């Protein structure tokens, strides 16, 4: 089994918590849709290490990786996706591979889910993400 590990990167802004979303530039089927940034772990690679590597490559940020979100997504027979909470230790996110980046609160996130602006596989995390964005 191989894993895709996505990052639920949070920041505090003016007393509210925001989540980082990244807009895919490929493939055609999901180009323009927004996702939790991340990528495939190498065989045998620790998942937190994989997420740190992917976010450094894709966004030029160094993150601290926390606990996992509850849901896992089966993308294919041999590919499962999971997500971990993360916070930026160093750097400002830049869209190296993505079309764009944005920070969202719970209302934005839920609206984007309703209007089909999120990558479909990531929709499963919206309730947990929105709850944490509201609670923090």
Residue 130 touches ligand CDP, criterion: CB under 6 A: no
Residue 110 touches ligand CDP, criterion: CB under 6 A: no
The residue (of 4 and 88) whose beta carbon lies closer to ligand CDP is 4
Residue 7 touches ligand CDP, criterion: CB under 6 A: no
If one counts every other C-beta atom within 10 angstroms of the C-beta of residue 34, the result is 23
For the chain, the residue count is 136
7-20 as b/e: b if 16+ CB within 10 A: bbbbeeeeeebbbb
Q: How far is CA 111 from CA 24, 26, 101, in A?
A: 18, 23, 17
Whether the link from the prior residue into 27 is cis, omega within 30° of 0, is yes
Q: Are 88 and 43 contacting, i.e. CB atoms less than 8 angstroms apart?
A: no
Residue from 122, 129, 130, 133 touching ligand CDP (CB under 6 A): that is 122
Residue from 10, 21, 23, 39 touching ligand CDP (CB under 6 A): that is 39
CB of residue 52 to ligand CDP, shortest distance in Å: 14
Residue 75 touches ligand CDP, criterion: CB under 6 A: yes
Q: Which residues bind ligand CDP (CB under 6 A)?
A: 4, 6, 30, 35-36, 38-40, 75, 81, 119, 121-122
């Amino acid at each position: 089994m191989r894993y895709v590990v996505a990052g639920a990167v949070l920041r505090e802004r003016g007393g509210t918590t925001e989540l980082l979303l990244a807009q895919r530039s490929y493939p055609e089927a999901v180009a323009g849709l927004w996702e939790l940034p991340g990528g495939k772990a190498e065989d045998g690679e620790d998942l937190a290490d994989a997420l740190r590597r992917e976010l450094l490559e894709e966004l030029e940020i160094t993150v601290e990786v926390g606990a996992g979100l509850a849901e896992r997504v089966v993308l294919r027979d041999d590919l499962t996706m999971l997500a971990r909470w993360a916070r930026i230790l160093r750097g400002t996110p830049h869209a190296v591979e993505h079309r764009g980046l944005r920070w969202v609160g719970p209302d934005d996130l839920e609206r984007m889910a309703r209007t089909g602006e999120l990558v479909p596989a990531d929709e499963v995390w919206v309730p947990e993400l929105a709850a944490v964005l509201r609670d923090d």
